[in-house]
């Protein structure tokens, strides 16, 4: 007598511009678990991806299903998200580089646009030069900005006229984000339906209010790059998943993704507020665009090699975004670049303390050592206070976010054990005098004898083993002039730390991280920080640097 064996599988796929990540979810002893995972260059195609997953399933799953995995995957529930294959290009034309231009540009970049042309009336070009630049522009939309609200700025109108002169009738849409009283006149420069007006991000010299412009540009971008299946676009799906995570856990969550070409940050509060920003050129391929990137990388990482080699590497990351660092120098330089990109992603702050920082994308979530992932998140984000750190190692958050709201919540619950890999908890303080104690931290663990407080000096990192699944109560005594972000009423702060594959990290290196001026000292200090985070520590011991 033969018994028919069957199973139910779900295939979660996150297709990036350079790499595709896929996970197979199946029932293991009555629970939904991640049973296979593969990542490969997107250009290798779906057939190869499925072949890899079938190989993994054949090696680990019930032998009675052997030979049927291809068929099972073919009829599995498919949940997927994708990054738009190409970045939408935008020309920004504004009155001033520092005010209207910078506000417009930042809003556009945070909405995921690639600003290919930036023309301002104070850019030093001649009028002919400006018109020539704009007439040669190949863009998907035009963004015009200038003039404060309630003022009829002739200069702002001139900027709009430049675009009217350079744009082909029937060409890409125009967004006016300048003086409100000029809106009707500017819209009248273009054919009917071509231009729309949004709230001025610079209503006066002292206010910068880019939120509405950013939101408008996000919507416009979605219409241009992904008119169908909008909910499957990663810039839409990931914020939905992170929002649901914040709601379900009651935590304030920051998710950061440094991809091959794009970067994204999602900030979600438990009350349902979600803010996301996509930087079309904020991924590793865009690292070469950061000012002085090669020199900065060599300065912050002792293993990255010399500056000319790092400069070459950054160009090659741009030229071949799906390739992998094969040497330790290239890995170190790539991860240092990711730290700079992360810092750039959160440079305008996250509006208060964070409870959980999640690293997604292969640069962080697929780092060979969890200490490297922790180092990228810690150095890049600098989350002041007590923060849980985790990575989305399976690349599941994005695909989950393409489901309905109810299904996302259900997915988060079902995949609780596999969704995020906890790295541990960080305690990051700001301030303090060099070499002096910045904070004393007492760690209370259930079933462990009480230890004397750990003293962390300014400029030091200490790691205390706290395995995954364990919790510890912390009593933190910051020194005078040292803060953990929030105002304190008592000299002692208590907090709960959750464990992870790295542990509890006590970080008194400051914000931004202070580095010694002398090269030899800097190298020694940076190496000690790296070693502290990378060393495997026995439980109960501290790693000090």
Q: How far apart are CA 280 and CA 437, in angstroms?
A: 42
By the rule CB under 8 A, 162 interacts with another protein: yes
CB of 314 to another protein, least distance (A): 8
State how far the Cα of 155 lies from the Cα of 135, in Å rounded to an integer. Answer: 19
Site string for another protein, 185-204 (x = CB under 8 A): ---xx---------------
| Helical ranges in 142-231 per DSSP H | 154-166, 183-187, 211-225
Q: Which is nearer to another protein, 328 or 494 (CB)?
A: 328
- Largest Cα–Cα separation, the chain: 88
Cite the DSSP H helix spans in 28-101.
46-60, 69-74
CB 115 within 8 A of CB 105: yes
Binding flag, residue 128, another protein (CB under 8 A): yes
Give me the count of residues in the chain.
545
Please, what is the minimum distance in Å from the beta carbon of residue 266 to another protein? 26
> Contact region for another protein (CB under 8 A) — 96-104, 150-158, 252-260, 474-482?
150-158
Cα dist from 486 to 152, 160, 490, whole Å: 43, 45, 12
Burial 502-535 (b: 16+ CB within 10 A, else e): bbbbbbbbbeebebeeeeeeebebbebbbebbbe
Residue 406: partners with Cβ closer than 8 Å, 6 or more residues away: none
Q: Site for another protein (CB under 8 A): which residue of 60, 66, 323, 404? A: 323
The contact pattern for another protein, residues 474-493, with x = CB under 8 A and - = no contact, is --------------------
Q: Verify binding: residue 176, another protein, rule CB under 8 A.
A: no
Minimal distance, residue 44 CB to another protein, in Å:
5
Shortest distance, position 140 Cβ to another protein, whole Å? 15
- Tell me, by CB under 8 A, how many residues bind another protein: 53
Contact status: 131 vs another protein (CB under 8 A): yes
Pick one of 7, 40, 199, 483: the residue that binds another protein (CB under 8 A). 40
Answer yes or no whether residue 320 interacts with another protein by CB under 8 A: yes
Tokens read off for 301: 């990482």
Closer residue to another protein (CB): 7 or 116: 116
x-or-dash pattern for another protein, window 337-376, by CB under 8 A? -----------------------------x-xx-------
Tell me: does residue 135 bind another protein (CB under 8 A).
yes
Q: How far apart are CA 39 and CA 54, in angstroms?
A: 13
Q: Which helix (H) or strand (E) holds 114?
A: strand 114-120
Which of 2, 3, 136, 517 touches another protein by CB under 8 A? Answer: 136
138 binds another protein (CB under 8 A): yes
Contacts of 294 (CB under 8 A, 6+ apart): 307, 308, 310, 311, 314
**Cα separation, 39 vs 17, whole angstroms:** 13
- Binding residues vs another protein (CB under 8 A): 40-41, 43-45, 48, 52, 126-128, 131-132, 135-136, 138, 154, 157-158, 160-168, 188-189, 294, 308-309, 311-316, 318-320, 322-328, 330-331, 366, 368-369
């Amino acid at each position: 007598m033969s018994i028919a064996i069957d199973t139910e599988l779900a295939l979660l796929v996150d297709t990036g511009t350079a790499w595709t990540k896929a996970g197979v979810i199946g029932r293991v002893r009555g629970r939904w678990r991640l049973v296979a995972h593969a990542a490969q260059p997107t250009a290798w195609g779906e057939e190869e991806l499925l072949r890899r997953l079938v190989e993994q399933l054949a090696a680990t799953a019930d032998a009675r299903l052997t030979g049927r995995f291809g068929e099972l995957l073919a009829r599995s529930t498919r949940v997927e998200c994708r990054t738009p294959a190409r970045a939408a290009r935008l020309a920004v034309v504004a009155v001033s580089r520092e005010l209207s231009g910078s506000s417009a540009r930042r809003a556009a970049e945070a909405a995921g646009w690639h600003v290919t042309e930036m023309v301002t009336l104070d850019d030093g070009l001649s009028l002919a030069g400006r018109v020539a630049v704009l007439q040669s522009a190949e863009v998907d939309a035009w963004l015009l900005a200038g003039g404060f609200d309630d003022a009829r700025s002739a200069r702002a109108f001139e900027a709009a006229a430049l675009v009217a002169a350079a744009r082909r009738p029937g060409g890409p849409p125009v967004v006016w984000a300048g003086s409100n009283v000029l809106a009707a006149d500017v819209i009248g420069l273009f054919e009917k339906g071509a231009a729309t007006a949004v709230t001025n991000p610079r209503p006066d010299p002292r206010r910068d209010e880019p939120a509405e412009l950013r939101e408008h540009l996000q919507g416009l971008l979605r219409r241009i790059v992904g008119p169908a299946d909008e909910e499957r676009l990663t810039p839409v799906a990931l914020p939905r998943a992170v929002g649901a995570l914040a709601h379900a856990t009651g935590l304030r969550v920051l998710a950061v993704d440094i991809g091959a070409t794009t970067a994204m940050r999602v900030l979600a509060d438990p009350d349902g507020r979600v803010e996301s920003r996509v930087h079309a050129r904020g991924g590793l391929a865009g690292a070469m665009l950061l000012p002085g990137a090669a020199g900065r990388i060599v300065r912050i990482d002792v293993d990255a090699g010399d500056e000319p080699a790092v400069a070459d590497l950054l160009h090659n990351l741009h030229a071949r975004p799906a390739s992998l660092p094969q040497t330790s120098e290239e890995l170190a330089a790539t991860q240092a670049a990711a730290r700079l990109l992360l810092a750039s992603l959160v440079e305008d702050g996250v509006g208060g303390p964070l409870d959980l920082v999640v690293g997604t994308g292969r640069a962080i979530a697929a780092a060979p050592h969890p200490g490297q992932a922790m180092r990228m998140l810690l150095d890049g984000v600098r989350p002041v206070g007590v923060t849980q750190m985790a990575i989305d190692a399976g690349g599941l958050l994005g695909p989950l976010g393409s489901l309905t709201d109810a299904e996302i919540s259900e997915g988060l619950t079902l995949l609780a054990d596999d969704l995020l890999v906890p790295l541990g908890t960080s305690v990051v303080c700001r301030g303090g005098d060099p070499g002096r104690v910045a904070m004393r931290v007492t760690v209370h663990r259930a079933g462990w004898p009480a230890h004397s407080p750990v003293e962390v000096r300014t400029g030091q990192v200490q790691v205390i083993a706290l395995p995954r699944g364990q919790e510890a109560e912390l009593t933190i005594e910051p020194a005078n002039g040292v803060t953990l972000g929030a105002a304190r009423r008592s000299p002692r702060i208590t907090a709960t730390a959750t464990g992870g594959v790295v542990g509890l990290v006590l970080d008194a290196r400051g914000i931004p991280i202070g580095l010694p001026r002398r090269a030899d000292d800097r190298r020694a200090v940076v190496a000690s920080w790296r070693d502290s985070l990378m060393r495997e520590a026995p439980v109960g011991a501290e790693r000090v640097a």
